[in-house]
Amino acid sequence: MTKKNVNKPNWLSLINIDSVYSSDMQRKAFSLFTMIGISIVVIAVLVFLNYKVYSPILTASLIIVNITNISCSIYFIRTGNLQVVALISMSIVCMMFVALVYTGGKDNTALYWLMFYPVVTFASLGVRLGAWLGFTLLFSCIVILYGPDFGQVSYGDVEKTRFIASFSMVFLFSFIGEYFRHKSHMAIADITLEQKQDAYTDPLTGIANRRFITSHFLKLAQTRPEQYLPFSILLIDLDNFKSLNDTHGHDFGDTVLIEFTKLLESQFLATALKARYGGEEFVVILPQVTVATATVIANKFREAVAGHVIFTDDKQRISITCSIGISQVNKVTDYDDSLKQADEALYSAKAAGRNSVVSN
């Protein structure tokens, strides 16, 4: 008999790989703020030493860049919005470099300062935005260096050619490096997410396993109590499952577990978390549902199970029943105690003759 998983439910969307993306954000932030820190110091020193030599346009551009970088740093500390900060900072720096190339800086040394820009732009903004800003600066430099005279300083032909060639090479290899780094990062992220999902999935039924609840769901409920608490625990056990296994074989037992899982998925809302706790024991967590309401829901599910028929390979009709113990969790730290209470209630349901619901 072929074993197959039921459709993967919504609980998989709760699994995240924030640690992977967090590392990438840290890399971007480190690259950006290293540039910002160095630029603030260098620009302050250059303006202080050369304000008499620099043109008013260049001096004003440098001061605006420093004010913007300091403001962006403060904004990031308050909001943590790295993308906006990086885009504003690198755009302002791009405009400063255009002004620097236009005026020539001190002794026409402006072109030497531009070489690091593609590296930092790609590192802090990624492929798409990095390419746009890098190309914008390159195009602006070409217009200033080779375009009509509109007041810009004059550079030597050899200096212009070497700069464009060098900047283009830095831009190209920075693009290639970031493009394939991003592809590798996304591939690693996909593999990590898939492995994490597999680790939290019961291989037979396709629903969550016990590890998902203890390692992931409880942490989620702890950080977002307004979305989950209080929640009710339904501890469900298939009645006489060992007898079914012994009589009809383990393959049929697996079929029963899969069919029972399908009932869990169809009878409970998508917001309910269904997990196989081990063997023929299952857990359903009902977020923001009290014991009283959970008892009504559990009884409806119990009746649906009792009315469900499963056929063996020789077309024999088999009916199954389940017993359910219920408890309520008001604080995440009370989960273990509430689970014990649900287990005690389940034991009482079994002792009462099975196919019953007991709440604690």
Rounded mean pLDDT of 78-106?
89
How many other CB atoms sit within 10 Å of the CB of residue 8?
12
**Ordered structural domains, the chain, with CATH:** 18-193 (no CATH), 205-359 (3.30.70.270)
Q: Which two tokens stand for residue 221?
A: 């409920």
d(C-alpha 123, C-alpha 118), whole Å = 8
Beta-strand ranges (E) seen in the chain are: 208-209, 231-238, 273-278, 281-287, 309-311, 317-319, 322-329, 357-359
Q: Is the pLDDT of residue 237 over 90?
A: yes
pLDDT digits over 203-221, tens only? 999 999 999 999 889 998 9
Q: Read off the pLDDT band of 20 (50, 70, 90).
A: low
Q: Does the structure show a pLDDT above 60 at 2?
A: no
What confidence category does residue 170 fall into, taking pLDDT thresholds of 50, 70 and 90? very high
Q: pLDDT tens digits for 116-131?
A: 999 999 999 999 999 9
Residue 11 has a pLDDT of 66
- Listed in sequence order, the residues at least 6 apart from 64 whose beta carbon sits closer than 8 Å to its beta carbon are 92, 96
What pLDDT score does 346 carry?
96
The whole-number pLDDT of residue 17 equals: 59
In angstroms, the CA 89 to CA 245 distance is: 67
Q: What is the mean pLDDT of residues 265-278?
A: 92
Between the CA of residue 237 and those of 242, 284, 337, what are the distances in Å?
11, 11, 19
Helix (H, G, I), strand (E, B) or coil at 176: helix
pLDDT of residue 55: 81
